[in-house]
Amino acid sequence: MRRMWQKSRWIVMLIALAGAVNLVACGGQSARVSPMASVSQTIGENTEVRIVYSRPAVKGRQIWGDLVAYDKVWRTGANEATTIEFSEDVTVQGAALAAGKYALFTIPGEGEWTFIFNTEADQWGAYDYDNSKDALTVKATPQKGGSTEWMQFNFEDPIGTSTRAVFAWKDVQVALEIAAADTSGDIRKSLKGAMMQRLGDSTDVQVVYSRPGVKGRTVWGELVPMDKVWRTGANENTVFSTSGDISVNGQPLAAGNYGLHTIPGASEWTVIFSKKADLWGSGGYDPVNDALRIKVAPQATAGPVEWMTFAAAELTPGGNGAVQEMVLTMSWDNLQLPIRISTK
């Protein structure tokens, strides 16, 4: 019963998130060059953390200290101010913060960043920022990172009741330690995560999944057998959703919700989009429900990935400036599975 209730909450969240983001598009802001995206992570038993943001690209520009000024309040992205929402009370960098939705402003510095959680969540940019509405400000130290063309947020180290929200753009990464205030209850070993990337004017591509860790185990060929149908994660089968018709590795896929199963192989994987999207694991998988099957060659990751992660990479704009294509990546351990997705 608990598992069914938790799954229902995530389905409601997925629908609500798609609706909220679509409302923005209906406000006359089509063909955005910095597309909408979101990431979500559950910590503890039921504490959900969600970040909704727009993703500007570097485009050969000088970012830090130029396009994004040092020592000034920034929207932490493009278009509307980035928002962060907590379903339950949390701590951020050890400081208490109540459940709710906040605008996430930052003040970038060369050696230190300030993160601001402002109760006026729905703002365009930082033009109307009012520090009297700040609920919390915390400090974090930026780190040099790899090259990140399109600004992104990810959640790393989702362990028990805590995680790290990691911001990355150009050559800078900054992390926030977030922990659930309530540490009781039935806590999954593989916590639930989600990501969404907008393509075109209004097509939202989303993945909801549980995130197993490597934990020193041999993953491929042992924990995950080769040549057998896999749920592509842990617990329930991973769910892939698209609000509009798309092309997946050149093959058409209609708008809808799909169970995302895979058949791992040493040199080639089969990726399955099943019309049956609500299974526990892959035990009830039936190929009669397949909407699409594609073949994908796995790639080596740049480094070890402890917690399975889905992300949108290699965003490609179309003629109107809006991003029309991306590569959806599933990364875990030493392997990455790239799936090219575009609007039709």
Query: Tell me: the pLDDT tens digits for 247-273?
Result: 999 999 999 999 999 999 999 999 999
For the chain, give every domain's residue range. Answer: 31-187, 202-344
Question: What are the Cα distances from residue 142, in Å, to 84, 109, 115, 148, 258?
Answer: 19, 8, 12, 14, 38
For residue 293, the model assigns a pLDDT of 98
Collapsing DSSP states into helix, strand and coil, what is residue 20? Answer: helix
For residue 22, the model assigns a pLDDT of 43
Residue-wise pLDDT tens digits, 286-330: 999 999 999 999 999 999 999 999 999 999 999 889 999 999 999
Residue 25 has pLDDT above 50, yes or no: no
For residues 257 and 206, give the distance between their C-alpha atoms in angstroms, rounded to a whole number. 9
Residue 70 has pLDDT above 60, yes or no: yes
Q: Which residues of 264-289 are buried (b: 16+ CB within 10 A; e: fewer)?
A: beeeebebbbbebbebeebeebeeeb
Judge contact between 125 and 145, C-beta under 8 A.
Answer: no
Can you tell me the mean pLDDT for 200-218? 97
Strand-pairing partners, residue 140, are: 113
For residue 30, the model assigns a pLDDT of 55
Please state the φ and ψ torsions of residue 4, each to the nearest 5 degrees: -65, -40
For residue 274, the model assigns a pLDDT of 98
Say what percent of the chain tops pLDDT 90.
89
Show contacts of 180-183: CB within 8 Å, 24+ apart: 180/43, 180/44, 180/45, 180/47, 180/88, 180/89, 180/90, 181/47, 181/88, 181/89, 181/90, 181/91, 181/96, 182/44, 182/45, 182/46, 182/47, 182/88, 182/89, 183/44
For residues 80 and 88, give the distance between their C-alpha atoms in angstroms, rounded to a whole number. 24
- Which helix (DSSP H) or strand (DSSP E) does residue 172 occupy? strand 162-180
The strand order across the sheet containing 238-242 reads: 134-140, 113-118, 100-107, 83-86, 47-54, 36-43, 191-199, 203-211, 238-242, 256-263, 269-274, 290-296
Residue-wise pLDDT tens digits, 149-163: 999 999 999 999 999
The count of C-alpha atoms lying within 13 angstroms of the C-alpha of 64, restricted to the half-sphere facing its C-beta, is 18
Can you tell me the mean pLDDT for 104-120? 98
Angle at 228 between CA 227 and CA 230, to 5 degrees: 125
Judge contact between 260 and 272, C-beta under 8 A.
Answer: yes
Judge contact between 124 and 103, C-beta under 8 A.
Answer: no
Can you tell me the mean pLDDT for 157-180? 98
Residue 5 has pLDDT above 50, yes or no: no
Segment among 38-47, 212-221, 275-284 with least mean pLDDT: 275-284
| 227 pLDDT tier (thresholds 50, 70, 90) | very high
Question: What are the Cα distances from residue 336, in Å, to 147, 183, 232, 236, 266?
Answer: 18, 33, 12, 21, 13
For residue 21, the model assigns a pLDDT of 43
Collapsing DSSP states into helix, strand and coil, what is residue 246? Answer: strand
Residue 138 has pLDDT above 60, yes or no: yes
| 19 pLDDT tier (thresholds 50, 70, 90) | very low
Residues whose CB is less than 8 angstroms from the CB of residue 72 and which lie 6 or more positions away in sequence, other chains included: 107
Say what percent of the chain tops pLDDT 70.
91
For residue 320, the model assigns a pLDDT of 87
Judge contact between 170 and 59, C-beta under 8 A.
Answer: no
Residue 176 has pLDDT above 50, yes or no: yes
